[in-house]
Structure 1
Amino acid sequence: MAAAEPKPPAGVAAARRLARGCWSAFWDYETPKVIVVKNRRLGVVYRSVQLLILLYFVWYVFIVQKSYQDSETGPESSVITKVKGITLSEHKVWDVEEYVKPPEGGSVFSIITRIEATPFQSLGTCAESMRVNNATCDSDEDCVAGQLDMLGNGLRTGRCVPYYHGSSKTCEVTGWCPVEDGASVSQFLGKMAPNFTILIKNSIHYPKFQFSKGNIEHRKDGYLKHCTFHEVSDLYCPIFKLGYIVEQAGENFTELAHTGGVIGVIINWDCDLDLSASKCNPKYSFRRLDPKHIPASSGYNFRFAKYYKINGSTTRTLIKAYGIRIDVIVHGQAGKFSLIPTIINLATALTSIGVGSFLCDWILLTFMNKNKVYSHKKFDKPSQQDCTLTDARGLAQL
């Protein structure tokens, strides 16, 4: 007689039954219970929330933000500039080659409007500037030979010598003499500077959409030789007067010419490429970029020198230049219809409408007078007898 096959342990059998139950439940379809609540106030809240969400997505997301488009920010850009004009100072006539730095015509350049020139500087010994820390002295004992101040004008010799004017004395230094504040001459170049013209040639390219455009109109009748920029009639004539740029930035030209400053010319290319290329136009704005209300760092100036020979000796003219620096800044964004962002935002909109149901359910089950009745109708709870019977069957199977 064959031996009886051993039964699996009770725990293994229970695990198998649980696995079969889970597998069977995996193929079940579940649907939420729907309860119709005849309450006008709750219905008004529900429809109002739905309407607000719908308006948000239709007006803001799709119309304002154009979220149905694929977008690209930061176009590839090139900027070429050219300044024209002459001006006068107290001693000479200045042309473009002298007052524009650097002369290459890039996106950042400076127009000199005032200078403080120190001519005939040569290598030798002279009194240090009184603006240098610990430069004043009463005797040679106050000056240390060989001392070098990083903010000074040279190496100290150890002698205390009379200053350039007045009765004060400062320590003597070896360097380019005389020092700047001892013999500088100021000249103002800004008298005719507001009439300087600045050509700003800009081309942009959006590589994702293979779209390119420039800010100059393609004409062969010498249009650029007699036009100046106007936002309506001459949008594609990017020739600006310096006075116009400063005025649009909200600054006083005379004050700015004396102290110097930085003006930003911002070119914005926001392009909807679902429309024709003619609808993609540059928008110009102007503002001052340097902090003029902070005395310690207001204004703009820089130094350079011009060298020459006198009787075989190297001599230079040191120039401290104050000017208006122009920074041309280009930015923008292009967009074009794409199916993927459209589907994603439509799905987000349809999902968000469900927020109204969640809010009204919370009000219904929390603040309504018959909230316990609604809770009982919405959620099915097994009776105590059903629970006892289920527990008994489970124990019996074990």
Structure 2
Amino acid sequence: MALYHQGGLIEIQQQWKCNFDSLKVEKKCFPTFTFNLLQSGSDELSPGINYRFAEKYSVNGKKYRTLTKIYGFRFIVAINGKGRQFDIVNLFVAIGSGLGYMIIGEIICGFVFARFHKYSTEYRQVKSTGLKLRHVRDPPSPTANSTIAHAVVKNIRQSQGTV
């Protein structure tokens, strides 16, 4: 009853959860409502919602003032939701963008490796001519070469006869 006499602050939450991928002919989406009482007239520190205003007037030259206090309700409306629908066009745009970024990354890494790496001359030579692989009957220990770059450089130098 205190809410009725002294007013209150009420929150109305409207939640939408819609999936537009359903196979139904009619795609209906209805919200759910939640009501929360944030402040009521039974609060001791600041009961209810009220507003005061003064009305000034004069009668026969005598000034009067009427102070009015109004109680009421204040509504806070919060609307949130999620609507989703699969779109094949957006899927292919995302895949194409990802491939584009991968190609740009390969170009940048190739440029950095060809210009600034310790074995940049060998890398450029292999990149332009290709690498000839030969079959080794007795392969050396896999730990004989510390890195793949060392193995590639060694293979190039052996094929050129500079080792």
Q: TM-score range by the shorter chain?
A: 0.3 to 0.5
Q: Give TM-score scaled by structure 1 length.
A: 0.22
Q: Give TM-score scaled by structure 2 length.
A: 0.46
